[in-house]
Amino acid sequence: MNRDLLPKLVDPQDHAPLQLQAEPREGPAISEGTLVSLSGKTYSVVRGIPRFVSGEEYASSFGYQWNKYARLQLDSENGTNFSRDRFREITGWGPEDLRGAWVLDGGCGAGRFAEIALAMGARVVAVDLSSSVDACRQNLSQHQRLDVVQASLYQLPFREGVFDFVYSIGVIQHTPDPKAAVLALANRVKPGGRLGLWIYEKDWKAYLGTVGFKYFLRPWTRKMSRTEVERFSNRLEALCWPVNQMARRCGLVGRIVMRILPVASAYLQNVPLKDGDFREWVRLDTFDMYSPAHDHPQRFSVVASWLQEAGFENIRRHPHGGISITAQRSR
């Protein structure tokens, strides 16, 4: 934990300032210590990460998957620009926007998009409810402009209106109350600052092909243990692999074929991954389809209305599938 983060931190329950009790150590970083609120509540800093929750609650499947597949989706690991391009298409933000800005990553996972924001020059605070924070910190430990925080989106331990940019990509639909999650993130954007979200969309296209399989099978897979879901997902991937291997090289026809398979592969067709990385990514994303405790797609008009309610303007939709939406908080 960097010391310059402390002024932005508050007790997530009563929003009181926090004081740091840490082991004496020179330099700006704190690896172990205790954060104490005015009311006497304490929160531990463990392995450099402030911890504001005692467990993973509904997000345990994500903690498992992002520690198991910790580096798979990092551009620096797989040799592609897929995450960078996806970040820019969803948010429209680039280095000219983020350089020197304080940026909050809401639901960081293993740090896939935090790596992109850091490369653009941002001062990044990456937060997640799950134990994926440990993978994120380990993956990006070379970056001094990064802090990783374990906390709930519903009880964020940050002052209101302190971040220049806030984004959350592929996370909101996996929370129990998507509106509350959006409003909590929006509340941390400073006046004039910007918010970027990507959320599963609730429309007719969501029930075709692969996604249709997901919503057909999830009532069954939700009753399984994590081990059973993983075994089921891996078997599906293995069954579909011969078709995927051929179809990913067959253009539009191949994409249509991949779209109707019960595994998450079609959107990866044109990503220049090696066969081994491609298979592993499909295995990961198929587990990601069937394992979450919550999956609540939304409508663009509804999300836009939440942002209007929160005092945002310049609400824009970006053409990246799902709900890619950005907005600016009114000054």
- pLDDT for 140 equals 98
Residues 131, 152 within the same domain: yes
Instruction: Confirm whether 34 is domain-assigned.
Output: no
Distance of CA 40 to the CA centre of its chain: 31
Give the Cβ contact number of residue 95 at 10 Å: 12
Distant-in-sequence, close-in-space partners of 138: CB < 8 Å, separation ≥ 6: 70
- pLDDT for 321 equals 80
Alpha helices by DSSP H, the chain: 60-68, 75-78, 82-91, 95-98, 112-119, 132-139, 178-186, 209-221, 226-247, 251-259, 275-290, 300-309
Residues 263, 305 within the same domain: no
Residues 216-234 have pLDDT tens digits of: 899 999 999 999 999 999 9
Q: What are phi and psi of 79, to 5 degrees?
A: 75, 15
**CA dist 108 to 150, 161, 216, 283, Å?**
10, 20, 28, 20
Residues 164-219 have pLDDT tens digits of: 999 999 999 999 999 999 999 999 999 999 999 999 998 766 555 556 688 889 99
Can you tell me the distance from the alpha carbon of 222 to that of 25, in angstroms, rounded to the nearest whole number? 46
Distant-in-sequence, close-in-space partners of 170: CB < 8 Å, separation ≥ 6: 107, 198, 199, 200
Residues 97, 243 within the same domain: no
Q: What is the CA radius of gyration of the chain?
A: 20
- pLDDT for 207 equals 58
- pLDDT for 206 equals 58
CATH number of domain containing 166? 3.40.50.150
Count how many domains the chain has: 2
pLDDT tops 80 at residue 27: no
**What sign has the CA pseudo-torsion 62, 63, 64, 70?**
positive
Query: Average pLDDT of the chain?
Result: 94
Residues 90, 216 within the same domain: no
Q: Is residue 199 within 8 Å of residue 120, measured between CB atoms?
A: no
| Overall pTM surpassing 0.75 (yes/no) | yes
Residues 310, 185 within the same domain: yes
- pLDDT for 79 equals 95
Q: Domain span at residue 84?
A: 52-201+298-329
Residues 193, 101 within the same domain: yes
- pLDDT for 26 equals 63
- pLDDT for 311 equals 97
The span from the first CA to the last CA of the chain, in angstroms, equals 30
Q: How confident is the model at residue 28 (pLDDT cuts 50, 70, 90)?
A: confident
Percent of the chain topping pLDDT 90 = 89
- pLDDT for 25 equals 66
Residues 276, 260 within the same domain: yes
